[in-house]
Amino acid sequence: MIYDHIVVGGGTAGCILATRLSEDPGRSVLLLEAGPEYPDFEALPDPLKYGWGMLNLEARKAGGPFNWSFTGKATPQQPEPMPVPRGKAMGGTSAINGQTFIRGAPEDFDTWAAWGNDDWSYVDCLPYFRKLESDEDYSGDFHGTEGPVPVRRHHRDTWPPAQEAFYQACVAAGYPDFPDVHEPDSTGISLRAENNIDGVRMSMALAYLDPNRHRLNLTVKAGVQVLKIVIKGQRATGLEVESGGDRFTVEGSEIILCAGAVASPYLLMLSGIGPADHLAEFGIPVVADSPGVGQNMRDHPNVTVRFSVKKGTYDDPNGMRALRLRFSATSTKTPNDMILSPASMNTVIAEGDDPSHTINCGLYLATGKGELRLTSADPHVQPSMDYHYLEDPWDRERLREAVRKCVGLLEDPAYAGIIEERTAPRDADLVSDQTLDDWLLRNVSSSFHISGTCKMGPDSDQEAVVDQRLKVRGVEGLRVVDASVMPDVVRANTNVTTMMIAERAAEFIKQGI
């Protein structure tokens, strides 16, 4: 059988795209996912089902069954590889992530449009953000109330003491109180929106795919790893796949990579689409010389300020993250390029009854770029990822400012009865810019928001891998639809923007463009 569309990857974009395309009964759609699937909600393992506390950690445990367990290089100052968790189950990373439901800033999309992607301005993208969400708390021009993805917030009467103290400290420091993070002009201290219902992580498998599995024109196959795109002439005609120890070929009129910002560029290069000189290193015949594949790797460099709390204030075993502070660095004209995000327990490295709390300090519009490259022509060998964090002096300057602001907030009287001790950074790390830079370079890590590795752009952009309709340049019948097509990372967690990209791509395909 030759399918009309084969969607590679059952993650955020793949679940959405397969669901939307199969709304047309005249289209045959095949969705392939390398990880397991659990169409029966009762059989869904707890680490995938519940999106808080220790179960969040269990879902993305390195070497676990639901994580590809990629690793990357953060800086030369860190001898150990940096974990890069990516979901390996139906739902992809939306099945293991922290469920932060925050869109990119309006300026992000207007910048994409200014760079030659004129179909991607904020005004163009807003209807698709509204289409996908069902917001319990807000309505109006900037919100959706009938979409498949539920949006919720933790309101003030539910906050544990450290979250309340953070709010009070931010207001006392003069930051505006702007609860609705999706208002275009919002900044300052806002409520963190999330796609979670009563503790259940609403992955895109649950929100989109599972309610529509009954469609006769939608075929869903889990446990199938794609090894290579089959290309005849300059047209993609199918995929070489592996399942249960067997290898075979599936055929489709259109191949759509939704494998994510790691696996989509990886599959393109394994299939002969990428930088010609790099492919030659591994004896891969060049189908299309595309220098941007794997380049422009964007993320949000992140460091964590940690503190222990006094006995009696550790009362949130689920690690609530109710708030986030967004602000502009002193040296920038770009709004909201910095973020502080508190968690009322350490949901990154906590083990057992750990009383430590964290505030993540994120650089949300970094100048630096990383790169993803092959290490072998064997599709079972992971690629290398060098993030090149904080090589740019301005990136270091802004992240230093975020850490110092965070430390200053912890000194507010609201925290007086809460904090026992700040454990990182230590006072010695804050003595000078140089000592703080040294600490940053040793501790900076990923926010798990990798994007941009198959960027979209006009013909004049030599680094652009896809056009603004997400078609791969140089090969017919092939698109990429996931976070890898972002020209630059957005000033927010990337999951919701990836949802929007999939919704928008579905409309392009339905319109035949």
Residue 215 belongs to a domain with what CATH number? 3.50.50.60
Q: Distance of alpha carbon 431 from its chain centroid, rounded? A: 34
Decide: helix, strand or coil at residue 172: helix
Please, are residues 172 and 405 in contact by the beta-carbon 8 Å criterion? no
pLDDT at 346: 54
Q: Out of 5, 154, 182, 449, which one is annotated catalytic? A: 449
| Residue 181 is assigned to a structural domain of this protein | no
pLDDT at 354: 53
pLDDT at 305: 96
| Residue 327 is assigned to a structural domain of this protein | no
pLDDT at 59: 87
Structural domains counted in the chain: 1
Distance from C-alpha of 46 to C-alpha of 27, rounded to nearest angstrom: 35
pLDDT at 160: 87
CA distances from 289 to 208, 280, 293, 379 (A): 36, 11, 9, 20
Residue 9, token pair as written in the block: 């990857």
- Please give the sequence-ordered ranges of beta strands (E in DSSP) within 88-144, or none if there are none: 133-135
| Residue 30 is assigned to a structural domain of this protein | yes
Distance from C-alpha of 452 to C-alpha of 363, rounded to nearest angstrom: 16
| Residue 249 is assigned to a structural domain of this protein | yes
Tens of pLDDT along the chain (513 residues) come to: 999 999 999 999 999 999 999 999 999 999 999 999 999 999 999 999 998 876 777 888 888 999 999 999 999 999 999 999 999 999 999 999 999 999 999 999 999 999 999 999 999 999 999 999 999 999 999 999 999 999 999 999 999 889 999 999 999 999 999 999 999 999 999 999 999 999 999 999 999 999 999 999 999 999 999 999 999 999 999 999 999 999 999 999 999 999 999 999 999 999 999 999 999 999 999 999 999 999 999 999 999 999 988 887 766 667 788 999 999 999 998 899 999 999 865 554 444 445 578 999 999 999 999 999 999 999 999 999 999 999 999 999 999 999 999 999 999 999 999 999 999 999 999 999 999 999 999 999 999 999 999 999 999 999 999 999 999 999 999 999 999 999 999 999 999 999 999 999 999 999 999
Distance from C-alpha of 208 to C-alpha of 299, rounded to nearest angstrom: 26
Residue 283, token pair as written in the block: 């004896």
Distance from C-alpha of 280 to C-alpha of 308, rounded to nearest angstrom: 52
| Residue 478 is assigned to a structural domain of this protein | yes
Residue 447, token pair as written in the block: 């926010």
| Residue 6 is assigned to a structural domain of this protein | yes
| Residue 150 is assigned to a structural domain of this protein | no
Q: What is the extent of the structural domain holding 56?
A: 1-67+84-131+198-290+453-513
pLDDT at 345: 59
pLDDT at 314: 65
| Residue 159 is assigned to a structural domain of this protein | no
Q: Helices 393-410 and 161-172, interaxial angle, to 10°?
A: 110
Whether 214 is catalytic: no
Query: Residues 6 or more apart from 141 whose CB is under 8 A from it?
Result: none
